Each structure stands twice: as C-alpha cells, then as structure tokens.
C-alpha cells in the first residue's frame, strides 16, 4: 500500500498554475456576461490569484497572456506578484486577434505576416526575461477552412521555420511549449491539430521544445492518458492545460465533466515520473468562468486537481504490477478502481489543517470578504476580458 506520508508530501509539493484570463470576463461568441469586481488590470488579476494561493497553498504561479496582460513595466508586475507570494508562470502568446491573421500567423502564406507573428513571439521571450517566466506557451489558431485553400505541407514548413527562429532566442533555462487543438477556429485543417504534429515539430527543434496537452483539445472518445503516458516516455510532456469539456473546447472547470478521466491521466503521470521535480511538467489550468463566480471556481478547480492527484497517488502500484504480470485482468482493474473510489477529501482536509490552512478553501474564501471588497472597490475603469 502507498505510504500516506509520502502521498501527503507529494500533495504538499504539487504546484498548480492558474491563468490570468480565468479572472477576467469571458463568454461565448453569443454573449460575455460581466461580473462585479472583475479585475481591471493585470495587477488586480494577481491580487485575485493571491487569494487562490492563500486558501489552497498550492497555486503560487500565474500564467500571463500577451497582449491581454501587457504592462509598461514587467519587472514591476513580477514584484507585485512576489509581494503576494506569487510567481509569474508561462507566457501565452496571442497571434489570433489581429486582422492580419485571417489566414494564419506563423503559417500564413505571406512572409510579412509570418514575420509579424514571429516578432510577437520574440517579444514574449523578452517579457519572460523581465518576469523570470520559464515557459513560452504557444497555441496557434492557424489552419484552413476549405480544401485547396492552402498547401498543407508548405504550412508545416513555415511553422517549422518560424518556431526555429523563436527557439534560437530562448535562454538556457527557458522552454517552448507547443499546444495542439484538433479544430476551431479553423474547420478544415488545423496546423497543429494533434500531439503527433506537436511532437514532430518539437523533436526537430530540440530538448527545450515540449508538448502541452490541453485536456479540452481532443475529439470525443480520445484516450488522453495514452498520449500522456507516451509523451512522458519520450521526455516530451511539457505540461497540461487542464479544463473540462462536454462538446468542444468548453473550458469548464477541470474534473467537472469527467473526474474519472482526470484520475486516469494523473495515474499515468504518477506512474511515469511526471510528479518528479526533474520531469518539470507544468500543471496549468486553462479555463474561463463564464457564468460562475471566478475566484471560487478557480479554487474549486485547484481542489479537483488535488483530489484526482491524491487518488492517483493512492494506487497500489506494487499490487497493480503484480496483477498485470500474472495477467489478472480483474484484479488489475480492481486495484485502480479502489484508488479512484477512495474518498480523499478527509485526507486533503487534514493536510490543509496540518499546513495551517482552512480545511474548506471555498468556504474560507467566501467568509474572507474579498468578493464583497472587490465588488465595492473595483468600480470605474474597464474590466479585463477577451481582448483587454
């Protein structure tokens, strides 16, 4: 049986990075519903992220999105983070909200547009230098809508050339994390649609390029844990963008749609060394809270990752390996299900109390008065949201 102290130690060391855009207004293409107290600046987003860390103890890192989080002085933003016990995490590029990018960015047929996109990515690395961020996270909206619209292979070549330019610019301790998504906004071809395409591009670039698995970016029924196991085996899993989906890229709270899938993914992470510091897997959230209160939703999401992690760490791996060796299908499956069916909430409550935290982070946040305070104080100005 797994040693409970070792499980608790691993849970204490786990770090879950939250996205700056999760604190801002968001919605669908039909409507963005504004909420009271939403941050107006990247500094205020960090103030909210600090509450998530205060009540969970495991969320000190915040991913930025450029230009949504553009500021005059990035060192000042990093200091603001540090003063609140936070660090700035991955810098996410944005090459999808400019008219020039109608036919793509780094894969665009026009070299001028490709250059413009690459310049933006290089600017993101400059920002990383100023903030101390280690990861450049790339998601490209590039693709085509109609058969014949562009040359599939030529677009891969342009992608490779653009990425190589940015790769050369990375510092020794900086990484490039290449995300894939099977469709949307392009509907016929997407230039990085799957883990294989991302992997092939990263392999050519070198060790500092790794794949990001956004759990919402697969066709229904895809076995995501298989992809995770395979990437870990190849040393190419850079991190996760966690969220839940029912239909498309829904960006709902992680673990809400399919907690069993999240457990299966984290079991492969645990089994294949993905929780070891040296493996350097970034556990990030990529979510939008369109109708629910944002800060408690981020807290809930962090807790969902913790619960699935605890269950994954509780798998009796010796018993599992023994059953697998003897081809005992039923026992193998039962060992896994025993861990999944364990109620880990008491363990996590105890752990929080041992760390001087309140056992129920959402209740603690609600009782803190922060929500009322920001609703009263953050009046005037422009609330952060898509494109801001």
- The rounded distance, in Å, linking the Cα atoms of 371 and 62 is 19
- The rounded distance, in Å, linking the Cα atoms of 293 and 38 is 10
Contact 221, 247 (CB under 8 A): no
Choosing among ligand PSV, Mn ion, none, which partner's interface includes residue 236 (Cβ < 5 to 8 Å by kind)? Answer: none
- The rounded distance, in Å, linking the Cα atoms of 299 and 288 is 13
Positions 194 through 223 that interact with ligand PSV (CB under 6 A): 214
Choosing among Mn ion, ligand PSV, none, which partner's interface includes residue 92 (Cβ < 5 to 8 Å by kind)? Answer: ligand PSV
Nearer to Mn ion, 54 or 179 (CB): 179
Nearer to ligand PSV, 249 or 338 (CB): 249
Task: Find the shortest distance in angstroms from Cβ 252 to ligand PSV.
Answer: 12
Site string for ligand PSV, 162-181 (x = CB under 6 A): -----------------x-x
Choosing among Mn ion, ligand PSV, none, which partner's interface includes residue 44 (Cβ < 5 to 8 Å by kind)? Answer: none
Rg (alpha carbons) of the chain, rounded to whole number: 21
Nearer to ligand PSV, 179 or 191 (CB): 179
Site string for Mn ion, 177-216 (x = CB under 5 A): -------------------------------------x--
Contact 347, 4 (CB under 8 A): yes
How many residues bind to ligand PSV according to rule CB under 6 A?
Answer: 9
Nearer to ligand PSV, 272 or 287 (CB): 287
- The rounded distance, in Å, linking the Cα atoms of 306 and 309 is 5
Site string for Mn ion, 228-247 (x = CB under 5 A): -------------x------
Query: According to CB under 6 A, which one of 87, 123, 161, 249 is a site residue for ligand PSV?
Result: 249
The token pair that represents 166 in the structure block? 């940015």
Nearer to ligand PSV, 44 or 214 (CB): 214
- Binding interface with Mn ion (CB under 5 A): 214, 241, 286
Residues that bind ligand PSV (CB under 6 A): 65, 92, 139, 179, 181, 214, 241, 249, 286
């Amino acid at each position: 049986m797994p040693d409970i102290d070792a499980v608790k130690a691993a849970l204490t060391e786990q770090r879950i990075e939250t996205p700056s855009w999760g604190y801002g207004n968001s919605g669908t293409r039909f409507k963005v519903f504004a909420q009271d107290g939403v941050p107006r600046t990247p500094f205020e987003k960090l103030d909210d992220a600090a509450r998530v860390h205060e009540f969970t103890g495991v969320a000190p890192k915040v991913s930025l999105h450029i230009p949504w989080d553009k500021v005059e002085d990035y060192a000042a933003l990093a200091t603001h983070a540090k003063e609140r016990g936070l660090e700035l995490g991955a810098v996410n590029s944005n090459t999808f909200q400019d008219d020039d990018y109608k036919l793509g960015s780094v894969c665009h047929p026009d070299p001028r547009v490709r250059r413009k996109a690459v310049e933006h990515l290089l600017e993101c690395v400059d920002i990383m230098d100023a903030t101390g961020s280690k990861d450049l996270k790339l998601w490209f909206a590039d693709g085509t809508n109609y058969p014949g619209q562009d040359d599939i292979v030529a677009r891969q070549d342009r992608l490779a050339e653009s990425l190589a330019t940015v790769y050369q610019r990375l510092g020794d301790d900086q990484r490039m994390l290449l995300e894939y998504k099977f469709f949307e906004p392009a509907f016929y071809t997407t230039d990085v649609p799957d883990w294989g395409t991302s992997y092939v591009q990263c392999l050519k670039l070198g060790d500092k390029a790794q794949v990001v698995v956004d759990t919402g970016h697969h066709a229904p029924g895809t076995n995501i844990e298989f992809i995770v196991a395979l990437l870990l085996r190849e040393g190419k899993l850079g991190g996760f963008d966690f969220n839940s989906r029912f239909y498309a890229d829904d960006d709902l709270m992680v673990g809400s749609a399919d907690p069993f899938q999240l457990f299966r993914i984290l079991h492969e992470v645990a089994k294949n060394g993905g929780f070891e510091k040296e493996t350097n897997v970034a556990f990030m959230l990529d979510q939008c809270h369109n109708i629910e209160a944002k800060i408690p939703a981020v807290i809930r999401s962090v807790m969902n990752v913790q619960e699935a992690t605890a269950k994954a760490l509780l798998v009796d791996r010796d018993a599992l390996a023994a059953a697998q060796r003897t081809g005992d299908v039923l026992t193998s499956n039962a060992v896994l299900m025993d861990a999944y069916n364990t109620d880990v909430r008491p363990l996590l409550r105890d752990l929080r109390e041992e760390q001087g935290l309140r056992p129920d982070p959402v209740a603690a946040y609600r009782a803190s008065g922060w929500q009322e305070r920001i609703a009263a104080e953050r009046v005037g100005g422009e609330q952060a949201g898509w494109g801001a």
